[in-house]
Amino acid sequence: METVPEPGSNVPPKKDRLQTKKKKPRRYWEQETTGTAAGASPGPPRKRKRNRELRPQKPKKNDTSKKFRMSKKPRELKSPRPQRSLSGAQDPFAGPAPFSVEVVQKYCRIDKSKELPHPKTKTRSRLVVAEAQEEETSVRAARSELLLTEEPGFLEGEDGEDTAKIRQADIVEAVDIASAAKHFDLNLRQFGPYRLNYSRTGRHLAFGGRRGHVAALDWVTKKLMCEINVMEAVRDIRFLHSEALLAVAQNRWLHIYDNQGIELHCVRRCDRVTRLEFLPFHFLLATASETGFLTYLDVSVGKIVAALNARAGRLSVMTQNPYNAVIHLGHSNGTVSLWSPAMKEPLVKILCHRGGVRAVAVDSTGMHMATSGLDHQLKVFDLRGTFQPLSARTLPQGAGHLAFSQRGLLAAGMGDVVNIWAGQGKASPPSLEQPYLTHRLSGHVHGLQFCPYEDVLGVGHSGGITSMLVPGAAEPNFDGLESNPYRSRKQRQEWEVKALLEKVPAELICLDPRALAEVDVISLEQAKKERAERLGYDPDARTPFQPKPKQKGRSSTASLVKRKRKVMDQEHRDKIRQSLEQQLQKQEKAKPTGARPSALDRFVR
Amino acid sequence: MSRNQAAESNLLALNQQKELEDLPKDYPLSTSEDEGDNDGERKHQKLLESISSLNRKDRQKLAERSEASLKVSEFSVSSEGSGEKLVLSDLLEPVKTSSSLAAVKKQLNRVKSKKTVELPLHREEIERIHREVAFNKSSQILSKWDPVVLKNRQAEQLVFPLSKPQSAFAPIEHVVSGWKAGTPLEQEIFDLLHKNKQPVTEPLLTPVEKASLKAMSLEEVKMRRAELQRARALQSYYEARARREKRIKSKKYHRILKKGKAKQALKDFEKLQKVNPGAALEELEKLDKARMMERMSLKHQNSGKWAKSKAIMAKYDLEAHQAIQEQLARNKVLTHKVQAASESEEDDLEARQAMQEQLARNKELMQKVQAASESEEEEEVQEEEEEPLVPDMVNGVQIKANGLNPWMFRNHFIDAEEAEVQKDLESVEEPEAQETSESEEERAVVEEETLLKEFEERRSLRQKSELNHMAEPVHRQVTKDPSSQEVLSELRALSQKLITENHQSGKQELSSARTAQREEPAREEEEPMLLQRPKRAQTLDELEELGREGCVENKELPRTAVEGLQLEKNLSNHIGTPKEKKRKEQMIDLQNLLTTKSSSVKSLAVPTTVQELEDEEERDQRQMIKVAFAGDDAIRDFLKEKREAVEASKPKDLDLTLPGWGKWGGMGLKPSAKKRRRFLIKAPEGPPRKDKNLPNVIISEKRNIHAAAHQVQVLSHPFTHHHQFERTIQTPIGSTWNTQRAFQKLTMSKVVTKPGHIIKPIKAEDVGYRSSSRSDLSVVQRNPKRLSIRHKKLLENNCVD
């Protein structure tokens, strides 16, 4: 296909003719430009009936090379400044690599909304340096997005076709074999409804049946790691930091198994556990129990960090906020409470439903929380400070289980049906108007989880386990150092050590994880006050006004006093003005709320 | 010789005795030499003297010292014999004039010219001054390093040992010399250039040019310097002379000088007239101006202080009399009217007559007019009195109307003439003026009318609004700003509506409305039964509570059908308060939140409800029952909980009352309310709660102490506000959040030292300075007493101060 140009062929006048005859050698950059060009151009129409592409897709090379040559000539003409070098060759990409401003904005971390008091020159220089650093790092990060080669998959219907009508069988038919193999059903009718859990890398799957069946397998290769029957009711199952450890909430106590099915621990302080959550960066296993306790178990040292009494009866709904590691508990009085191990009381309590809360899920950005209640409603709440519902929908039977995918798809299990809703963009809440996909199962849903880094939704139900294909659910690019699905045993061990070294203390869990980057203003003030007390004066206080000495008799004692008084009066006036304004505000607030209700009002409907 | 003596005497008279003491000792003052004369001569002299003394009336007996004795009379020293006065210089003078005397004279002169030397300062003070000067200088030298220090402080990384900054920019000649001409044309060009020693690049000069420039510059500088020196010397001579002359007190001298000057000036003027008449004229003008000034200021009359004193003296003192006379004469000269030249006088006279005639005519006219208008008699009288004066003035000014005094000229002329001319024109012009004024007035009136109309309109509006206002209290409406018409109209409409509603049977309306409202949701979709039921159970109490919780304007939230129902309810409840309705509209309602408009999923797959598992069924049933019974109190419970949380988080008041203090105490006796109020310390109101406007949320206000322990608690130096510091630590530096390069750069160490290298202190060369600064500093440090001239001056200044 490609030929190397002859060695003596770089004589300029001949070049044009050669180009017409022979194909130029392809360079490493040519691939990319064609890719982007293809992406930008309308390209192949997406009107094919079912254009479903699962994540692992590769650009087709056949037509790209053709297109490239077509698009090359204009670019050569465009190239702004041909730089001469010894060989006479030109740099086709002169100057620094381009980057998009929006992407850079995404990586900017400095909160510029806070107003700064006018800084001194020294301080200003520091601030300038900090801002320059931020910009540089964010530009670098934006440039490195080039390395995220994979694109998310998607599912698009024909004009007016509802994607929800597309069945799993159709999808499986359309996708490649490797992806098709990811859709499977495990018929396990014997041991009753299953709970399931994917490991953080998305490679392994553990499931536990109500009637004691516990198994773990590498679900991609379908290689079974262990399969045991614990001879006790299994309420929940969860992988710990790696696929080597497995926590199982059994009828009485919490048990921990390894991937061979050997029982390692029996944690008796966590009894009658109904739900399990693992906080990977803190190495905390959160357990919600029937007795109403939320217990945090540090699995790296095996200690119970905190046991909090929720004072709301039986806890059966729990989820974690992956953004800030706050635990969300759903209660039977329609409230959802947010917990951190450092606080004895809930950080926030939100009244979400009229009836009890049946399921809670939080998306990966920590912005949205989906709840479903016994009032058959499904609501999406905004978690950024206001805790107000963004959208709500009444479902015929109400959702018993909810799960968010990495890219913000929301799955709800209602009876034996699973519905999936998608949002418009990445960080947008799922729009509950039209379901993206629906699927009917052979049994009632008992557990739901999207598989990380794979477009797969795992559903545990009374008839076993179903692995559904959901195009566009997962993040297509994984961080090989953080959670590598293809890692070897050695790599896993390395990662384990690193992760343990970077373990975040449990007490740092709070609503705003960026609070650590803030100054503790209260203790700062306190320290200031104490210092002033100790010294007997406030060293930072403003020095009282001292009039400047003047000449020609204007610096007499009387005039000095007069000038001082002038300044003092000015300050005094300002103070009075301020207090008056405050009073006005208060008065406005305290306006009477209207006429007094009469005693007869009770009879009016 | 005599001149010498005179000079000497002068000197002695002027100088003090002290200065004489400074004379060198090697020149002895000997008087013994006179005694060596022979006796015969002396006797002869004596004889002559005694003879001559016989003639004199007042004979002075001078004691003569004939022999050595202990008693020496102080009066006995005399200059007998020579018949001259004794002067000191004679004593000094040797018999023979020697060369050494000249030196003494010189010294004497020098002494005379020199001022007295002041006392030296204290040693400490001198040292202090030295220190100060040295400090100033060294600090100045050190300030050169400021930019370097600043740069190093702000540098991202410092690598030691400091490497010299490479001289990145080579001079252009070097570059050019390194470049060789390639093509034959270029070679030719370069050959040409080098042959002629032409500069290769533009700003360079040929060596010849450079040399010539250098040669020229030195000469020029020398010449220039010499010139300057000369000018300076001349100036100083002149100044000295002027100063000397100024110091002369003799009146006669000054008089003569003045006269001389006047003569000179006259001569000059004549000369100028011949040479340059224009300039002469200007001179004349100047003189005139001076005269005018004189006339204005009345300087030389007899009213001054000096003149008055002289006038008193004049009776007795002839000189004073003369002086006064002189002064008056001068005054006369200065103030006398300048007469025009004789030729132009006749014309002027004619003109004056013509003018007067005209004026007379004017006057007649004026008088006629006056007769008509009697009321203005008084003014006319005054004018009549003025009028005879005017023409003179006019003439006086007109004669010398050469633009000398435009101010006077213009004023009087216009006053005199135009005033007269306009006066008779006025009768003609007046109607016109009146007309114009009338038209103006009309315009003004129109404007006024429009304004008035506007005002009236406004007033009527206000009255209307006031009427409205009056009407409103019937419905107990209180509006804050009556000016805003929209609000008013709205309110009016509302009130009318309400009245009509009142008149009708409101119940029916309401029920019908409610049914309508109920139909809507039904039309939209089938609401679940659970939703419908609680609506009815909403109580007023809850609403009130919500109102107390605060209102939020959040219009994004979906409105529900229930809301309309509630509003209806509000209307029916508080029928006279439509304002409340508005308020309610703005508020988030918990009910709304919980019963948001929601549509059921039109999913294809409706879950099969037939076969349900036991436990799920069981649980559902249990919760169903709970919902059925506890749907309403969920909200109430939540509100109660929230209220409790709010109460708990509020700072507590401190009660310091001591029962029984100052009063009777005991069982059942309570301290009086007054006392309690007096001793109750109210806690300051804390910041507003975060969930103040969120009725469905309780946000804990407790601080996470454990997390706070990890936060920064002290502001480091240059920061004055915590927000500033926060900005600098908001960017994460870990490799988890950054690319590898960025991470490396962010965690770069601030100072790097190369192992195995000696780190020498920073030198001036290292940062691109010349080394002079450092050597300067060392000199000052080593020898602070050696100071430059400038510093000496400074020192002197300090001494003077």
Q: At CB < 8 A and 24+ separation, what contacts does B678-683 make? A: B679/B655, B680/B653, B680/B654, B680/B655, B680/B656, B681/B653, B681/B654, B681/B655, B681/B656, B682/B653, B683/B650, B683/B651, B683/B652, B683/B653, B683/B654
Length of chain B: 801
**Disruptive mutation site among B510, B553, B588, B603 for chain A (greatest number of A CBs within 10 Å):** B603
Torsion of CA A132, A133, A136, A139, to 10 degrees: -110
Band (pLDDT 50/70/90 cuts) for residue B175 is low
A-chain residues near B579 (CB < 8 A): 594
Q: CB of B147 within 8 Å of any CB in chain A?
A: no
Q: Give one DSSP letter per residue of B762-779, joined into a string.
A: P-TGGGT--THHHHHHHH
Report CB contact under 8 Å: B604, A164. yes
Report CB contact under 8 Å: B603, A375. no
In the prediction, which pLDDT does B760 show? Answer: 86
Q: Average pLDDT of B713-725?
A: 90
Which residue from B minimizes the CA distance to A110?
B730
Structure tokens, A245: 């450890």
Report field, pTM of the whole predicted structure over 0.95: no
Residue range B342-391, pLDDT digits in tens: 444 444 455 556 556 655 665 555 555 444 444 444 444 444 444 443 33
DSSP annotation of B301 reads: S
**Disruptive mutation site among A462, A579, A605 for chain B (greatest number of B CBs within 10 Å):** A605
Residue B482 · residue B469 · CB < 8 Å: yes
CA distance B175 to B224: 40
Q: Average pLDDT of B181-195?
A: 81
**Disruptive mutation site among B638, B724, B729 for chain A (greatest number of A CBs within 10 Å):** B724
Angle at CA B65, nearest 5°, toward B60 and B71?
A: 105
In the prediction, which pLDDT does A587 show? Answer: 87
Residue range B650-672, pLDDT digits in tens: 888 888 888 888 888 788 888 88
Q: CB of B738 within 8 Å of any CB in chain A?
A: yes
In the prediction, which pLDDT does A11 show? Answer: 38
**Angle, helix B277-297 to helix B251-275, in steps of 10 degrees:** 140
Q: Average pLDDT of A253-269?
A: 95
Band (pLDDT 50/70/90 cuts) for residue A277 is very high
B-chain residues near A193 (CB < 8 A): 613
Element (H, E) at B570: helix B561-573
Among all chains, which residue has been given the structure tokens 């549509």?
B599
Where on the phi/psi map is residue A35: left (φ > 0), alpha (ψ -120 to 50), or beta? alpha
The radius of gyration of chain B's CA atoms, rounded to the nearest angstrom, is 58
| B515 or A178: which leads in pLDDT | A178
CA distance A163 to A234: 36
B536, pLDDT greater than 70: no
In the prediction, which pLDDT does B105 show? Answer: 85
Q: CB of B607 within 8 Å of any CB in chain A?
A: yes
CA distance A578 to A580: 5
In the prediction, which pLDDT does B342 show? Answer: 46
Q: CB of A504 within 8 Å of any CB in chain B?
A: no
Which residue from B minimizes the CA distance to A482?
B736
A-chain residues near B742 (CB < 8 A): 136-137, 140-141
Q: Which of A445-454, B124-133, B460-469, B753-762 has the lowest mean pLDDT?
A: B460-469
* Residue of B604, B627, B698 with shortest CB distance to A348: B698
Q: CB of A604 within 8 Å of any CB in chain B?
A: yes
CA distance A363 to chain B (A): 20
User: Which of B 617-656 lie inside 8 A of A, CB atoms?
Assistant: 620, 623-624, 626-627, 630-631, 634-635, 637-638, 641
DSSP annotation of A278 reads: E
Residue range A343-400, pLDDT digits in tens: 999 999 999 998 899 999 999 999 999 999 998 999 999 998 889 999 999 998 889 9
Which residue from A minimizes the CA distance to B700?
A347
Q: CB of A119 within 8 Å of any CB in chain B?
A: yes
Residue range B747-794, pLDDT digits in tens: 999 999 989 988 888 888 777 666 544 444 444 444 444 445 555 555
Residue in B669, B594, B16 with CA at minimum distance from that of residue A357: B594
In the prediction, which pLDDT does A308 show? Answer: 96
Residue range B555-571, pLDDT digits in tens: 333 444 344 444 444 44
In the prediction, which pLDDT does A336 show? Answer: 96
Residue in B82, B76, B95, B77 with CA at minimum distance from that of residue B30: B95
Distance of CA A167 to the CA centre of its chain: 29
| B561 or B167: which leads in pLDDT | B167
Q: Which of A310-319, A479-488, B14-23, B286-295 has the lowest mean pLDDT?
A: B14-23
Q: Of the spans A156-160, B257-261, B346-350, B402-406, which averages the highest pLDDT? A: B257-261
Structure tokens, B667: 């069982």
Residue range B614-626, pLDDT digits in tens: 555 566 666 666 6
Structure tokens, B763: 């030198």
What count of CB pairs under 8 Å joins A to B?
Answer: 288
In the prediction, which pLDDT does B518 show? Answer: 46
In the prediction, which pLDDT does B229 show? Answer: 95
CA distance B419 to B430: 15
Report CB contact under 8 Å: A347, B699. yes
Torsion of CA A76, A81, A87, A88, to 10 degrees: 70
Distance of CA A404 to the CA centre of its chain: 10
B-chain residues near A392 (CB < 8 A): 558, 596-598
Band (pLDDT 50/70/90 cuts) for residue B460 is low
Q: Indicate the residue type of A571.
A: E
In the prediction, which pLDDT does B85 show? Answer: 67
B150, pLDDT greater than 80: yes
B542, pLDDT greater than 70: no
In the prediction, which pLDDT does B201 show? Answer: 56
Report CB contact under 8 Å: A355, B723. no
Structure tokens, A43: 């390209």
Residue range B92-141, pLDDT digits in tens: 666 665 667 788 888 888 888 887 778 888 999 999 999 999 999 999 98
B-chain residues near A605 (CB < 8 A): 536, 569
- 3-state DSSP helix/strand/coil percent for chain A, to nearest 5? 25, 25, 45
In the prediction, which pLDDT does B25 show? Answer: 46
* Residue of A389, A396, A519 with shortest CB distance to B726: A519
Cα A293 to Cα A273, A576, B76, distances in angstroms: 9, 53, 136
Residue B498 · residue B578 · CB < 8 Å: yes
Q: Average pLDDT of A94-98?
A: 82
Report CB contact under 8 Å: A604, B616. no
In the prediction, which pLDDT does A373 show? Answer: 93
Burial category of A398 from C-beta neighbours within 10 Å (exposed 0-12, middle 13-18, buried 19 and up): buried
CA distance A71 to chain B (A): 32
Structure tokens, B693: 């406007």
ipTM over 0.90: no
Percent of chain B residues topping a pLDDT of 70: 44
CA distance B385 to B362: 15
Q: Give one DSSP letter per residue of A85-117, joined into a string.
A: -TT----TT-SSPP--HHHHHHH----TTSPPP
In the prediction, which pLDDT does B129 show? Answer: 95
In the prediction, which pLDDT does A457 show? Answer: 96
| N-term to C-term CA, chain A | 85
Residue range B210-263, pLDDT digits in tens: 777 666 677 888 899 999 999 999 999 999 999 998 888 888 998 999 999 999
Q: Mention every residue, 6+ apart, whose C-beta is less than 8 A from residue B731.
A: A109, A110, A130, A133, A134, A137, B746
| A43 or A267: which leads in pLDDT | A267
Q: Average pLDDT of B50-61?
A: 68
A-chain residues near B527 (CB < 8 A): 394
User: Which of A 333-362 lie inside 8 A of B, CB atoms?
Assistant: 333-335, 340, 342-343, 345-356
Q: Average pLDDT of A147-169?
A: 88
Q: Average pLDDT of A460-479?
A: 94
A104, pLDDT greater than 60: yes
In the prediction, which pLDDT does A414 show? Answer: 92
* Residue of B572, B702, B723 with shortest CB distance to A343: B702
CA distance A394 to B42: 158
A464, pLDDT greater than 60: yes
In the prediction, which pLDDT does B617 show? Answer: 57
**Disruptive mutation site among B157, B731, B741 for chain A (greatest number of A CBs within 10 Å):** B731
Q: Average pLDDT of A465-484?
A: 92
Q: Average pLDDT of B151-176?
A: 74
| B110 or B594: which leads in pLDDT | B110
In the prediction, which pLDDT does A42 show? Answer: 37
Residue range B293-322, pLDDT digits in tens: 877 776 777 777 788 888 888 888 888 888
Q: CB of B703 within 8 Å of any CB in chain A?
A: yes
CA distance B452 to chain A (A): 37
Q: Which of B280-294, B487-501, B525-539 has the lowest mean pLDDT?
A: B525-539
Residue A212 · residue A193 · CB < 8 Å: no
